[in-house]
Structure 1
Amino acid sequence: MSSVLLYLHGFNSSPGSAKARQMADWLAEHRPDIEVLIPAQPNTPAAAWAAIAQSIEAAQARHGDGLRLGAVGSSLGGFMATRVSERYGCRAALINPAVRPYELLQDFLGPQTNPYTHERYELLPRHMDELRALAVPVTVPERLWVLQQQEDEVLDYRKALSEYSFARLSLECGGDHSFVGFERYPAQIVHFLGL
């Protein structure tokens, strides 16, 4: 069996984000046997999903039937990781996940600049339709672990508690959208994912 951890960054982020690097660094030191995939997702939803699916399909081609996949997603990446879990039948850890991002991101329509890549683009109403089309119902909540901090300044943590009410949940007081103290979790996440 070959283990692959797929890390999905959030909106206007990149593979260079702090949590992505912390996860990759921990794996390099403690579990170098796990292949880490951190795809650079395009800034629009349908293109981002296509890049994610392509990364998974390439891993499937490399490893064949021996692939054991687990996903980690932060914010909008948590929304995408939920889709990965449902489509590919794997476990996923969701960090301050975005719930119904097609509603949340209505406030961000218009010109955008990704602070990591400096790429400029425009977020349009059709991108909200793309997000809506990517939403999936959670059918196997025990495959999901939601890590949530109450003082997330971007997302209302109560929406995640409602959306993922039957999933495993770790709710912390304080914190913020970056998930303060994430470095405490990589070992537990890898164990939960079964990698």
Structure 2
Amino acid sequence: MKTPPATHLLYLHGFRSSPQSNKARLMAQRVAERHPRLHWWCPQLPPSPREAIELVMQGIARWPRESMAVVGSSLGGFYATYVTAVTRCRAVLLNPAVHPARDLARYIGDQTLWHDPATHFHFRPEYVDELRALDAGPLAQPERVFAIIAKGDEVLDWREMTARYPGSRIALLEGGDHALSDFERRHLDDVMDFIDPA
């Protein structure tokens, strides 16, 4: 059965990030220029994982499941995995966090946003438990997931990321970095082709 064109696209940024991240801005620009019929939403996610998912699920409550898609980067990739597990929508994961409860436990305390160091937030101990509660487990439709994973990621282990998504399409990059600095040049077209096939 042919996949219908996407009508709605959700972008979920990573930890300490925002809709001002490079990849989010590049995707917003691409949607505006070449996919204007796509409904685009890239919310600023609250620090609390529970509140972040509540915001997202309320925001997409009326979206058509078959023609919506989600893109998530790093922690946003973990959230996007939850979204696709619940909705069965297409998902693109960019160096997705797979064990954030373990990895973010050392960040409890005062934090700042990468793109706005003047903006502070407090990462609370209970957020680790909230992350643990959002682990989606094995995906019922892994073929609807496309993960771009860089072996050169300096933050996350590419082996853990790859092992998390059996049955999914995976682009495993030699080298690269956590931010996917070559996103526009090497990956943006592939992401949009997966989300919105012609």
When normalised by structure 1's length, the TM-score is: 0.90
**Residue 10 of structure 1, aligned match among 10, 14, 18:** 14
1:72 deviates by: 0.3
Match of 2:71, SS state, is: strand
Residues 38-71 of structure 1 deviation map (CA, whole Å, 9 limit, x = unaligned): 01111221111111112212x53xxxx5972000
Shift in CA distance, 123/173, structure 1 to aligned 2, threshold 3 Å: same
1:102 aligns with 2:106: no
- 2:76 alignment partner in structure 1: 77
Matches within 5 A, 1:1-195: 3-57=7-61, 59-60=62-63, 68-117=67-116, 118-137=118-137, 138-183=139-184, 184-194=186-196
Shift in CA distance, 66/172, structure 1 to aligned 2, threshold 3 Å: closer
Match of 2:127, SS state, is: helix
Q: Which moved more, 1:175-184 or 1:95-104?
A: 175-184
RMSD across aligned C-alpha pairs, in angstroms?
Answer: 1.8
Q: What's the % identity of the aligned pairs?
A: 40
Aligned pair count? 190
Task: Note if contact 1:4-1:67 (Cα within 8 Å) is conserved in structure 2.
Answer: no
Match of 1:78, SS state, is: helix
Higher helix share: 1
Stretches of structure 1 that go unaligned for 5 or more consecutive residues are: none
Alpha-carbon separation, structure 2, partners of 1:66 and 1:15: 23
Match of 1:185, SS state, is: helix
Alpha-carbon separation, structure 1, partners of 2:119 and 2:147: 30
Match of 2:114, SS state, is: coil
Alpha-carbon separation, structure 2, partners of 1:139 and 1:30: 31
